[in-house]
Amino acid sequence: MFLASKGFGHYLHTHYGDHTFRGLYRWNGFDLAILIPYFIVMVILAFYGIHRYQLVWLYYHNKKKKALWDQPVGRFAPGELPFVTVQLPIFNEQFVIDRLIDAVCRIDYPRDRFEIQLLDDSTDETVQVAAEIVERYAKGTAGLAPQPIVHLHRTNRHGYKAGALDEGLKVARGELVAIFDADFVPAPDWLMKVVDHFAEPGIGMVQTRWTHLNRNYSFMTQVEAILLDGHFVLEHGGRSRAGVFFNFNGTAGVWRRVAISDGGGWQHDTLTEDTDLSYRVQMTGWRFKYLQDVECPAELPIEMTAFKTQQARWAKGLIQTGKKILPRVMKSNAPWHTKLEAWYHLTANISYPLMIVLSVLLMPAMIIRSWQGYIQMLLIDFPLFIASTMSVSTFYLVSQKELFPKTWYKTFLYVPFLMALGVGLTITNTKAVMEALFGYKTAFARTPKYRVKKKGEASQAKVYRKRLGIVPWIELLIGTYFAWTVWYAMTTENYFTVPFLLLFVLGYWYTGLLSLFQGLFERAGKEASGSPDMHEKPYPMGI
C-alpha cells in the first residue's frame, strides 16, 4: 500500500527528460479514472478493516459478560433434564462416520432423555456403512449398552442439509436439538456442559468453540486453524459479549426446538442455512449464548481444493443471507449498533470482488502516483494500510494470544501466510459472491473429510477429490503478473510497495499450485512427518 516514492519520477526524469517528466504530473482524465476507484476501494476495505479492530474492542470491553460453561444462570435438577435429540447430518462421509457415531454414543446423558438421528443423504457406499454401524450400536457394542440411535436415509437431497435437519425434526422427540457434522468428535461431557444454560429463560441456542483434530497435519492446516480461531474467539466472542446478533455455525451447538419453530424453521434458499435461521430466530426475541471454554474438535480440510470449496460456500451463503435478512434487520426494532454489526457480518465477503478491482488498479495507480513524496504517503497511504491490512494480522494475533498465552508469539511466523491465503482465495470467493449477488443457484458442495492423522495417510482422498477447472491457472497467471509488478517496483526504486506486492504473488501462486498438485505433494510427503503442533495436543482419534 506504500505507493509513494520519488524513485519512478527520478527514473523518468533521467531517461526521458523534463518535458515527459512534467507531463506525468498533470492530473488528467485517465489519472482520475484510475485513482478515484482505487481510493474508493481502499476506503471501503479500510472500513471493514476498522471493523476488525472494533471486534477486538468489543471482546475486551465486555470481558465481564463472557459466558462460562460452569456458571449458568440456572440448573436443571437431575430428574428434570430436558429430552435431547442429537442430529447427525451426513452426505458421503464413509471415512469418518464410525468415529462420529462412536463419539456421540459415548456422550454422558441419561438414555431415557436422549436420542440420536443419523440423517443420511448419501449416494455412495456410506449408506451401507452407516446402516451397519447404526445397527451395531443400537444392539450394543464396544463396551456400550444398546443406544437409542436410528438411521434415516433420504433418497433425494431436497433442501440439502437444511432439508435433512427439517425432516429429522418431524420425528424428533427432543425439547433440545444438538447438531454435529460428520467430522466432529464431541467429548463425553460436552452435552452436560451445555444443557444447564437452557435453564435460563429466553436462551434459544448455545454454540461451542471448534478446535482442530489435525491442526498439525501440514502448514496449511496450521494456517486454517488460526483463521478459524480468529472467528471463534473475536467474532463470536466480541458479538456475543456485546449482546448483538451472532450465528450458529451449523454444528457443535444446541438449539431449543421451539426457537427453531418461532424463527420459521430450517430453510434452504441459502447455502448458510445456519446463519439464516440464526438471524430469524434472534429477531423474534430469542437470545444466543457462546461458550468459548467448551471445545468440540473437528477435522480441517487437508487439500486446497477442499478448503476453497468450503470457503466459497460460506462466502456465497453469507451474501445470500445478507440479501434475504438484512432488509428485515434494518426494519426491525433492534438497536442501531446491532444493525450495524449485522451489516458488517453479512456483507464482509464483498471485500473479495473489491480485491479483484484493487488488483487491476494497483499497478497503474502505482505508476501514476510514483512521483509523489513521503508526506502524502504518511497522510493517506499509511492510514489506509493500517486500517485495511494491519488489522488482519492484529485480529489473528490477538485471538492466538487469548487461546495460547504462552506460545502465541509463534503466530508471527504465520501472519504473512494468513494474509497471502486471504489474497489467494480472491478468485474463487469472488465468483461465489457474484453468483450470490446475481441470484445464481448452485448445489450445496460438501467439504470432503478423510480422517487423516499425519502425512501419507490420505490415499483415500482421491475418492472425493475435486479439481477447480481453470481457476488455478488464472491464479497462477495473476501471481505471475504481480511478480512482474514486484520487479517493476524494484527497478523504479519503489521499495515500499514490494512487501505488499509479494503477498499477492505468494497468495496466488500458493493457492494455484496446491490446487493443481495437491495429490502430488501428498504422495511426496508420505514419509514426512506432520508439522509440529504449535499449540495443541491432538485429540484422540480412535474414540
The 10s digit of each residue's pLDDT in 278-331 is 999 999 999 999 999 999 999 999 889 889 999 999 999 999 999 999 999 999
- Amino acid, res. 216: N
Q: Answer yes or no: is 340 within a domain.
A: yes
Do 307 and 421 touch, CB atoms closer than 8 A? Answer: no
In a domain, 73, yes or no: no
Distance CA 242, CA 118 (A): 36
On the question of pLDDT at 452 being above 80, the answer is no
Q: Is residue 541 part of a domain?
A: no
Q: How many residues are given for the chain?
A: 543
Of 305, 331, 349, the residue that ends a domain is 349
**Last residue of one domain, picked from the residues 296, 318, 349:** 349
Q: Facing residues of 290 across strands?
A: 207
Query: Closest Cα to residue 509, out of 467, 481, 470, 469?
Result: 481
381 and 233 co-located in one domain: no
What 3-state class would DSSP assign to 404?
Answer: coil
Residue type at position 268: H
Say if 500 falls within a structural domain: yes
Residue 94: give its domain's CATH number.
3.90.550.10
Percentage of residues in the chain with pLDDT exceeding 70?
84
CB 104 within 8 A of CB 116: yes
Please report whether residue 67 resides in a domain.
no
Which is it for the CA torsion 390, 395, 396, 401, positive or negative?
positive
Are 478 and 328 within 8 A, CB to CB? no
Helix (H) or strand (E) holding 254: strand 253-256
Residue 402 and residue 256 in one domain: no
Q: How confident is the model at residue 158 (pLDDT cuts 50, 70, 90)?
A: very high
Q: Give the number of C-alpha atoms closer than 13 A to the C-alpha of residue 8, restricted to the C-beta side.
A: 25
In the numeric block, which cell numbers belong to residue 314? 460460506
Claim to verify: residue 238 and residue 359 sit in the same structural domain = no
- 330 and 447 assigned to the same domain: no
Average pLDDT of the chain, as a whole number: 86
In a domain, 217, yes or no: yes
Mean pLDDT of 485-510: 85
Residues 154 and 268 in one domain: yes
- Give the total number of structural domains in the chain: 2
> What is the span of the domain harbouring residue 501?
7-61+353-524
Higher pLDDT, 64 or 527: 64
d(CA 30, CA 12): 19
Q: Both 507 and 471 in a single domain?
A: yes
- Contact between 90 and 131 under an 8 Å Cβ cutoff? The reply is no
Q: How confident is the model at residue 78 (pLDDT cuts 50, 70, 90)?
A: confident
SS in 3 state form for 318-346? HHHHHHHHHHHHHHCCCCHHHHHHHHHHH
Cite the active site residues. 121, 274
Q: Does residue 537 fall inside a structural domain?
A: no
CA-CA distance, 272 to 316, in Å (whole number)?
A: 8
CB burial of 344-368 (b: ≥16 within 10 Å; e: otherwise) equals bbbbbbbbbbbbbbbbbbbbebbbb
Whether residue 308 is found in the same domain as residue 393: no
Residue in 479, 476, 454, 451 with CA at minimum distance from that of residue 126? 451
Please give the distance of CA 257 from its chain centroid, rounded to a whole number.
Answer: 26
CA distance 317 to 26: 45
Grid cell for residue 398:
490477538
What pTM was estimated for this model as a whole?
0.88
Question: 3-state class of 294 per DSSP?
Answer: strand
pLDDT score of 316: 97
Cβ 36 vs Cβ 402: under 8 Å: no
User: Both 154 and 269 in a single domain?
Assistant: yes
Instruction: Report the candidate in 74, 135, 68, 144 with the shortest Cα–Cα distance to residue 111.
Output: 144
Cα separation, 151 vs 319, whole angstroms:
34
Dihedral over Cα of 88, 90, 94, 96: its sign: negative
Q: What is the mean predicted confidence (pLDDT) over 150-164?
A: 95
Q: Residues 281, 258: one domain?
A: yes
Q: Which residue has the cell 462416520?
A: 97
Residue type, 398: V
Chain segment 172-218, per-residue pLDDT in tens = 999 999 999 999 999 999 999 999 999 999 999 999 999 999 999 99
Residue 385 contacts by C-beta under 8 Å, 6 or more apart in sequence? 1, 2, 500
Residue 93 C-alpha cell reads as 462421509
Whether the Cβ atoms of residue 185 and residue 63 lie closer than 8 Å to each other: no
* Closest to 478 in 3D by CA, of 489, 470, 468: 470
Residue 420 has pLDDT above 60, yes or no: yes
The SS3 assignment for 289 reads strand
Name the residue among 251, 308, 278 with its Cα closest to residue 445: 308
HEC string of 97-128? HHHHHHHHHCCCCCHHHEEEEEEECCCCCHHH
Reading the block at residue 390, the C-alpha cell is: 494491519
Tens of pLDDT, residue by residue over 359-403, are 888 888 777 766 655 555 555 666 766 776 788 889 999 999 999
CA nearest to 319, candidates 270, 253, 247, 274? 270
Residue indicated by cell numbers 495437491? 518
| CA 431 – CA 219 distance, rounded (Å) | 26
Residue given cell 496466488 in the structure block: 508
Q: Give the Cα separation of 409 and 352 in Å (integer).
A: 29
Residues 359 and 437 in one domain: yes
The answer to the question of residue 187 being in a domain is: yes
Last residue of a domain, one of 295, 317, 349: 349
Which residues sit opposite 255 in a β-bridge?
A: 177, 205
Give the integer Cα–Cα distance in Å for 291 and 192. 13
Query: Same structural domain for residues 203 and 343?
Result: yes
Instruction: Say if residue 224's pLDDT is above 70.
Output: yes
* pLDDT digit string, tens, across residues 120-133: 999 999 999 999 99
- Tell me, yes or no, whether 482 and 517 share the same domain: yes
- Distance CA(171)–CA(230), nearest Å, equals 37
